[in-house]
Amino acid sequence: MAVFTPVSEEDTRTLLADYSLGDFVSLRGIAAGIENSNFFLTTTAGEFILTIFEVLTAAQLPFYIELMHHLAGRGIPVPQPQTRLDGSRLFTLHEKPATIVTRLPGGYEPEPTTGHCGLTGQTLARAHLAARDFPIRQPNLRGLAWWEKTAPIVYPYMDQSTRAMLQAALAEQVEAASTPDWGSLPQGPSHCDLFRDNVLFAGTRECPQMGGFIDFYFAGCDHWLFDVAVSVNDWCIERATGTLIPPLADAWLQAYASVRPFTEAEHRAWPIILRGAALRFWISRLYDFHLPRPAQTLKPHDPGHFERVLSARTIGPIPALPGRA
C-alpha cells in the first residue's frame, strides 16, 4: 500500500463522476505495504479506499474484486468494491487498473490478545466456507511455482549458510507437494496474506469487535491450511525470535476449528505447511529488499524476520491442531 502512482484532486473528481458516491472531499496516500498505491478517499457519501494496482493486470483482477464482492454479500466483513454507473467495478487510472472499495471500521492491533486471535480465526474459517461456491478460479500467484522461480534470483544476495537453509526448505516443500496427502487437503479461495495489519478491529482491546479483513490482492485458490499457517506465523509469535506463543496459537486454532474442523490430512501436513508459509514470505521479502521498485513512500520489510520464523518452525516446538484424538 505504498504510493507508486500519484493521484491528483482533479483525477479523483473525474473518476467520481462515474460513480454515485457523492462529491470529493479529500484524498490522502497510505504509506504502508509494497504492492499497490492506496489512498484514503473521503466523499460526501462516506469513507472509501482508492487502489491503483501496480503489479496485477486487469485480466487478473476480477478474481480479487469479485471475491470481495462475493464474501461481502454473504456477510463476511471485507471491503465492498463499489459499482460504477456502467455496472463495472474496475477502471483505468494513469494507464493502470484501479478500484474503489468501502473503508472498514477500526484499526489494526499490533499486539493481539487471545480475543483478537479467536475473532480472526473464526472469521477466516467463515470466509473459507463462504467462498466455496465462488465461481472464478485463480491459483495463488505467490505459491510453490513462484517460490521455485524466485529463489534462484535471490541466492546471489545470500551467504552460503542462509542459502543452504533456503534451498533445504524449498526442497522439502517440493517433495511434500508430490505426496497423496497434499492432493487431499481442503482448498479454495484463500486470503494468503492475513497478517495482523490486514485485519481491523473496533471495540476495545479488552472487548474487541471484528472490523474486517482487508488487502485481498495476494488472494488465490490454495490449501486452506496454508492460509491458516500464514496467519498463525504472524499473529501468534514472539516478534524477536519468531517462536510461537502457545496461548495465542491455541486461541486462533480452536476458534477456526469451531467453524471448520481440521481433517486428518491437515493434521499430518501442519508442520510442513507452517514452514512453507514462513518460506513464502522469506523469499518475497528477500526479493523486495534486494530488488526494490521505486515508490514515493516505500517501507521495505526485513527479510531476516521470516528467516527467524522458518528457523523456529524447523527446530522449535509446533502446537498440534485441535480436534485430533
> pLDDT, tens digit, for every residue of 248-290?
999 999 999 999 999 999 999 999 999 999 999 999 999 999 9
- Percentage of the chain beyond pLDDT 70 is 95
Say how many domains are in the chain.
2
321 domain-assigned: no
User: Do 18 and 87 lie in a common domain?
Assistant: yes
Q: 3-class SS at 24?
A: strand
93/137 same-domain check: no
- The predicted structure's pLDDT at residue 56: 84
Are residue 242 and residue 154 in the same domain, yes or no?
yes
pLDDT over 60 at 298, yes or no: no
pLDDT at 325 over 90: no
- pLDDT higher than 90, residue 36: no
Same domain (yes/no): 184, 232: yes
Together in a domain, 39 and 156: no
Shared domain for 213 and 285, answered yes or no, is yes
107 pLDDT tier (thresholds 50, 70, 90): very high
- Parent domain of 239: 114-315
What's the length of the chain? 325
Asked if residue 149 lies in contact with residue 142, where contact means CB atoms within 8 angstroms, the answer is: no
Q: How confident is the model at residue 294 (pLDDT cuts 50, 70, 90)?
A: low
In this structure, the answer to whether residues 180 and 307 fall within a common structural domain is: yes
Q: Tell whether 125 is covered by a domain.
A: yes
In this model, does residue 68 exceed pLDDT 90? yes
Q: Which of 59, 79, 102 is the last residue of a domain?
A: 102
Q: What is the pLDDT of residue 4?
A: 84
Query: Residues near 168 by Cβ (< 8 Å), separated by ≥ 6?
Result: none
Same domain, 268 and 310: yes
Instruction: Give the confidence band of 295 by pLDDT, cuts at 50, 70, 90.
Output: low
Q: How deeply is 111 buried, as exposed, middle or buried, from its count of CB atoms within 10 A (0-12, 13-18, 19+)?
A: exposed
Q: What's 218-277 look like in SS3?
A: CCEEEEHHHHHHHHHHHHCECCCCCCECHHHHHHHHHHHHHHCCCCHHHHHHHHHHHHHH
CATH number at residue 86: 3.30.200.20
Mean pLDDT within 15-35: 89
Positive/negative CA dihedral, 212, 218, 221, 225:
negative
CATH of residue 288 = 3.90.1200.10
pLDDT score recorded for residue 323: 87
- For the cut 80, the answer to whether the pLDDT of residue 32 exceeds it is no
Q: Which of 237, 213, 209 is nearest to 227 (CA)?
A: 213
Residue 247 lies in a domain: yes
The values of phi and psi at residue 172, to 5°, are: -60, -40
The model's pTM is 0.91
Instruction: Establish if 322 belongs to a structural domain.
Output: no
